[in-house]
Structure 1
């Protein structure tokens, strides 16, 4: 699992957090020096001595997402263009983008961090990468990590006309895919598409070893349901396009921050206080990012960080990513959050077969729709309404819809042609498709 030749810190090379902090303090001056080469930080670091310790660093203002947008495209860049390997933008960008640059050396760090999966990655693996490749980091990151360990990559992409769900299922089955990388919702869509194709997700894909997921909040109930459907572990990953992987899951199911490769802080946006642990917004300083160094970058993700040791022996802080789970809508006197509501939906008995749902919070009532077969519709509807009443004390209107109502069957089974653009057509062809490809 390790790539010892890179010279970067590796799991197992320290015996506690004091050793990790020494690794951080050793690398930090180099990171700060890299930062002074970018226009943004050159201006910010002009007065006084450069920060040399984590305590010194704490005197700097936080770097925000707006700072990255304002510096677009090259204001954060710290190396000449000829040193660059890739450019990316965040999927969550609205309006002006948040740019991210990486050198080839940066990519070694990125790939190693992502590959820290307790289940392992090897040359025997067939690895389906089912996250976007366009501009985002996520697909390229998994691709590079798999190749680092010799895995065969299936570049499945996402939201691509060339890779509909029927084709995903065919690839999973026929190529005997062993590992996948996607958002968690994809795993449910694959299960539905597999059944539509006549396959049993938990039985007809025996080569599958694990499902790697990230990019969206995942409750314990939904995670466990996905794992039962496919009969393999669901392994979480946390990171961003601006930073790469920041945390990975250990064999005991906890997410650990890669504190040997980055400094982490927790920022209370109400009080302005910054701590090393507790709840707040995650602030990160990547330590091996040369192309575009980030000092005290506020990801604005709500998290809970703890330094309580874990049975895995990694001696790294643990993190719970709350994301938007703390945000909710008022229904009556209750606040309804997606995180809690999802727990209730996926706590329904597996036999009901509820995979897809949606909800709308209105001032007086919570409206919920679930896909469920006729024979379980009334039971599922009644049980979910009762759970909502018990959990939130709110009135709800739960409607059971026939399968295919929220996720159309055609979406799961269609195999559209993807053609190249053309301008010359025969007498019986539709020339309204000239120059179009889809």
Structure 2
């Protein structure tokens, strides 16, 4: 049991009061000034920030950003007391390089769980039955969802289908015959893989009948893919949250399927690569965050590396800005001089076609590319030419080129879809060939 003494009970109470008072509201400068001072003081106990003088907002604004690569290189320099006060230990997945040790104290976990539970208040119902199809070993994502469900007293089960010897697809299907989940949490690729497997076994319609919502996280998902999944499953599909193992949750979905920045638990800024500006002064850039509730490893002005666009037009009632996360510029690949990201490609693929997956093959010079599209299980092939024509037209407009070849195939390697902890877009959906 995480809350085992009066101090932690007081932490829970403070987190609840803050979440209820500040979620979705405009946060005043006085709030940030006070909370940033607290983070600054905690950070000075670490080797990385020990050189800092006393806090002032002016001093904070002059502080250089903290680079994620520096945390990966010297992770223990940023951790207070070598993590001795931690109750859980995680590591990043390492898809972008070295893994990063991430101990979490009870305070870290309580603040993040309560804030996310408040953000998802309208998305999860008290009588839901939640199935968590995400890894629970080493990375924190499944623990977060389980924590939210426990806090809300919502029934849930963890059934990640790649836990060898414990949970696989057969076990999952047998479990669901009894459990009949109403909400699925999983990575986008896993939702596609699960759908194809259930269709192949002839039970997809029966399983989907109980599912009212799918919460996607662990990978980038696009509106086009969410629309496709929603139509296939007959469910609402949300881009549930955005964050990292290092920072905790930075944005969470509303019932209009927008991801709103968690402005009550983070101080956000935007960088153009040279200068850092306040969030309210610009609409795009690299997201810089100072999490306000990190205790084991306080971080100041962390450069996330993620390029985002900020929106202020959501009608859900949440006054915090929403964002579109484009990912890291280093994750892009170039074809005929045109940069491609997972978001730009999947907007086109799932907007134009009913494919359940894709694989891009590029020549070694990066000048020509073909795309293999996985046709849905037992689907009609009559309009595939129309889908490919639409794909080519959208690609020319949105990506800047037409594919050398666009081909539907019956199936693609599972790695193009299995996700969450097992997938890196450039490794799983991009293949470089000597020639095309």
Task: With the length of structure 1 as denominator, give the TM-score of the two structures.
Answer: 0.81
How is 1:106-255 mapped onto 2 (pairs within 5 angstroms)? 106-115=108-117, 116-121=119-124, 123-157=126-160, 159-161=162-164, 162-201=166-205, 204-236=207-239, 237-255=241-259
Deviations 1:243-295 (A, max 9, x none): 111101122222111111111111111x3343424222111111111111111
Instruction: Say which one has the larger Rg.
Output: 1
227 and 400 in structure 1: CA distance in 2 versus 1, 3 angstrom threshold: same
188 and 212 in structure 1: CA distance in 2 versus 1, 3 angstrom threshold: same
Whole-Å Cα distance in 2 between the matches of residues 77 and 94 of structure 1?
Answer: 21
How is 1:250-261 mapped onto 2 (pairs within 5 angstroms)? 250-261=254-265
* Match of residue 319 from structure 1: 323
SS in 1 for 2:229: helix
Whole-Å Cα distance in 2 between the matches of residues 378 and 309 of structure 1?
Answer: 37
Asked if structure 1 preserves the Cα contact closer than 8 Å seen for 2:272 and 2:286, the reply is yes
387 and 256 in structure 1: CA distance in 2 versus 1, 3 angstrom threshold: closer
Whole-Å Cα distance in 2 between the matches of residues 170 and 313 of structure 1?
Answer: 41
* Match of residue 299 from structure 1: 304
How is 1:60-71 mapped onto 2 (pairs within 5 angstroms)? 60-71=63-74
Asked if structure 2 preserves the Cα contact closer than 8 Å seen for 1:90 and 1:98, the reply is yes
Q: Which has the higher helix share?
A: 2
Cα offset, 1:379, TM superposition: 4.4
Q: Which runs of 5+ in 1 are unaligned?
A: 412-438
* Match of residue 33 from structure 2: 25
* Match of residue 422 from structure 2: none
SS in 2 for 1:10: helix
Asked if structure 2 preserves the Cα contact closer than 8 Å seen for 1:217 and 1:325, the reply is no
1:10 matched to 2:10? no
RMSD of aligned Cα (Å): 2.8
SS in 2 for 1:185: helix
198 and 374 in structure 1: CA distance in 2 versus 1, 3 angstrom threshold: closer
Aligned residues: 393
Cα offset, 1:328, TM superposition: 4.2
Q: Which runs of 5+ in 2 are unaligned?
A: 1-9, 419-436
Deviations 1:359-384 (A, max 9, x none): 12334422111122573454444443
4 and 117 in structure 1: CA distance in 2 versus 1, 3 angstrom threshold: farther
Among 31, 42, 48, which residue is 1:40 paired with? Answer: 48
Cα offset, 1:80, TM superposition: 6.9
SS in 1 for 2:352: coil
Whole-Å Cα distance in 2 between the matches of residues 215 and 96 of structure 1?
Answer: 18
Among 266, 275, 280, which residue is 1:272 paired with? Answer: 275
Whole-Å Cα distance in 2 between the matches of residues 20 and 207 of structure 1?
Answer: 43
Please say which of residues 314-323 and 166-175 is displaced more in the overlay.
166-175
SS in 2 for 1:39: coil
Please say which of residues 153-162 and 243-252 is displaced more in the overlay.
153-162
* Match of residue 433 from structure 1: none
297 and 378 in structure 1: CA distance in 2 versus 1, 3 angstrom threshold: same
Asked if structure 1 preserves the Cα contact closer than 8 Å seen for 2:46 and 2:77, the reply is yes
Among 104, 107, 120, which residue is 1:105 paired with? Answer: 107
SS in 2 for 1:398: strand
Whole-Å Cα distance in 1 between the matches of residues 266 and 175 of structure 2?
Answer: 37
